[in-house]
Amino acid sequence: MRTIRTTGELRAWLGNARDEGRTVGLVPTMGAFHAGHHALMRAARAEQDAVVVSLFVNPAQFNDAGDLAAYPRSEDDDAAEAAELGVDVLFAPPESEIYPEGFATTVNVAGLSDVLEGAERGPGHFAGVCTVVNKLLNIVGPDVAYFGQKDAQQVAVIKRMVRDLDMPARIEVLPTVREPDGLALSSRNVRLSSADRARAVALSRALQAAADAAATGERDAAGIRAAAATHLAGVDAEYLAIVDPESFAPLTTITGPALVAVAARVGPVRLIDNAVLQPVPVAT
Ligand code: AMP
């Protein structure tokens, strides 16, 4: 595996891969790899001839300078893990390579970017995500780009951007990888104290309660939400919402697949998680 830091060098490498007729997979990341990242890399390795993993902690998507400063960074370990998984290129550019002086363009998906994560983290969050993902798709030109369902709203926003702007890449979404007790893996989990780590399981418990309620026939979103909310007493919940998985419009009644999304502060760490609810069919 080679680590590449400039767009020019990456394009030259990809030009050769394309000349050889190889398909290309891209896994965009902010590093501090865990088993969720590994699953995306494994899928890309299994499905594509050439695999590029990008590692860029994107300042444009952080609304909180403290969060950006505290974001875990471990490039040497990340590179070793990516190499072990058979990744061909780790693209780890400096900030000046992505945002050179005079950079002035922003890509924004209106509406979808303004609710839940967008409302909590500010309107610039998803604009920052979209702008950097658009750049990565332009730089790499992958056949398939791989994302995690863990960041469900990010997936919805990126899919909309790709559709609206006729971007040629296919977006593939992989399931959330969890700890044995249900906690969704996140690079931020390393910042949880042991007491906070124990409390953090509240998020996945709440989602499980919502799924159980839906599975036993509850279709009223308020009822499902109430079942979930009882598990969040020990954390500082920011939102618990039941929405359409594509438009993120709030739902009052569950008649098809619905997304239950939660965000909470656990000590100094902000965690998010989600699950797709399936209503039980109405007996006829
Ligand atoms: P990040 O480095 O946190 O920006 O994440 C890079 C990619 O990994 C994104 O597509 C995330 O959705 C995905 N990801 C993060 N955590 C998980 C997880 N627990 N399971 C599956 N994918 C994940």
Please tell me the predicted confidence (pLDDT) of residue 280. 84
pLDDT digits (tens, 9 = 90+) for 206-255: 999 999 999 999 999 999 999 999 999 999 999 999 999 999 999 999 99
Q: Which of 37, 38, 125, 231 is catalytic?
A: 37
Task: Verify whether ligand 1 is closer than 6 Å to residue 116 (CB atom).
Answer: no
pLDDT digits (tens, 9 = 90+) for 102-144: 999 999 999 999 999 999 999 799 999 999 999 999 999 999 9
DSSP code of 203? H
Task: Verify whether ligand 1 is closer than 6 Å to residue 36 (CB atom).
Answer: yes
Concatenate the DSSP letters of all residues of 158-182 into one string: HHHHHHHTT--PEEEEEPPPB-TTS
Ligand 1 centre distance from Cα of residue 188 (Å): 11
Query: What gap in Å lies between CA 165 and CA 146, rounded to an integer?
Result: 18
- Torsion region of 126: left, alpha or beta (phi above 0 gives left; psi -120 to 50 gives alpha): alpha
Task: Verify whether ligand 1 is closer than 6 Å to residue 128 (CB atom).
Answer: no
Percent of the chain with pLDDT over 70: 99
Query: What gap in Å lies between CA 92 and CA 29, rounded to an integer?
Result: 10
CA distance to 120, 252, 260, 261, per residue, from 206 (Å): 20, 18, 9, 10
Q: Which of 26, 27, 29 to mutate to test the pocket of ligand 1 (most atoms within 8 A of CB)?
A: 29
Task: Verify whether ligand 1 is closer than 6 Å to residue 184 (CB atom).
Answer: yes
pLDDT digits (tens, 9 = 90+) for 31-41: 999 999 999 99
pLDDT digits (tens, 9 = 90+) for 41-65: 999 999 999 999 999 999 999 999 9
End-to-end CA distance of the chain: 57
Beta bridge mates, 260:
242, 275
CA distance to 150, 256, 261, per residue, from 276 (Å): 11, 10, 9
Query: What gap in Å lies between CA 101 and CA 43, rounded to an integer?
Result: 36
Say whether pLDDT at 284 is over 80: no
Q: For 234, list phi and psi in degrees, rounded to 5.
A: -90, 0
Percent of the chain with pLDDT over 90: 96
Question: Which band of pLDDT confidence, cut at 50, 70 and 90, is reported for residue 97?
Answer: very high
Residue 146 identity: Y
Say whether pLDDT at 270 is over 80: yes
Please tell me the predicted confidence (pLDDT) of residue 279. 83
Residue 37 annotated to the active site: yes
Q: What is the mean pLDDT of residues 5-13?
A: 98
Task: Verify whether ligand 1 is closer than 6 Å to residue 53 (CB atom).
Answer: no
The beta-strand segments (E) located in the chain are 2-4, 24-29, 50-55, 89-91, 144-148, 170-174, 236-243, 258-266, 269-277
Please tell me the predicted confidence (pLDDT) of residue 281. 82
pTM of the model: 0.97
